[in-house]
Amino acid sequence: MGIRNHRKENCARHMTPSPLAPEASDDIIQPRRVTNPVQESPTHRSLHRELLFSHRRGLLLGGKPELQRVLQQRRLEQDVPPPSDLEQELRKRKQRLQEYEQEELKRKEGQENIPEFVRVKENLRHVRVAVQ
């Protein structure tokens, strides 16, 4: 007896007779499938209906329905491992370097706006202090 045959037998044992079957007795309580309260809510049904309608008509800009895009984005986020300590430290250093470079650019732009004779005068002051 293979695994497939074993599964078929188990499924046959767990299946309940249909409510229309004549051999079902009235004394036994028949199990019912539990309803999902989210799917039964009118807001969920209307949203689902609207998404299906807009997908059929091609109103969505992308090729995929909104729900599929959201689920795909969640899967991608879950698959990406969190950054290691080394990666975090490298990002911090890169950010500090970029900030420093931006400050240097601003300082150079400020220097360019100052007339040349003022810049030369400031340089002469620094030279005099260094010599004395």
pLDDT at residue 25, rounded to an integer? 65
Tens of pLDDT, residue by residue over 77-121, are 898 888 899 999 999 999 999 999 999 999 888 877 888 888 888
Buried/exposed 63-95: b ≥16 CB within 10 Å, e otherwise: eeeeeeeeeeeeeeeeeeeeeeeeeeeeeeeee
Q: Is pLDDT larger for residue 63 or for residue 46?
A: 46
Measured over the CA atoms of residue 14, residue 18, residue 24 and residue 26, the dihedral's sign is positive
Q: What is the pTM of this model?
A: 0.34
pLDDT at residue 98, rounded to an integer? 97
Phi-psi category of 58—alpha, beta or left, where left has phi over 0 and alpha has psi -120 to 50? left
**Choice among 59-63, 71-75, 100-104, 124-128 with the minimum mean pLDDT:** 59-63
Give mean pLDDT, residues 62-90.
88
Q: Is the pLDDT of residue 8 over 70?
A: no
- Check if the beta carbon of residue 45 is closer than 8 Å to that of residue 39: yes
For residue 81 the two structure tokens come to 């491992």
pLDDT at residue 23, rounded to an integer? 57
Type of residue numbered 105: L
pLDDT at residue 114, rounded to an integer? 81
**Choice among 14-28, 46-60, 79-93, 113-127 with the minimum mean pLDDT:** 14-28
Q: How sure is the predictor about 6, in pLDDT bands with cuts at 50, 70 and 90?
A: low
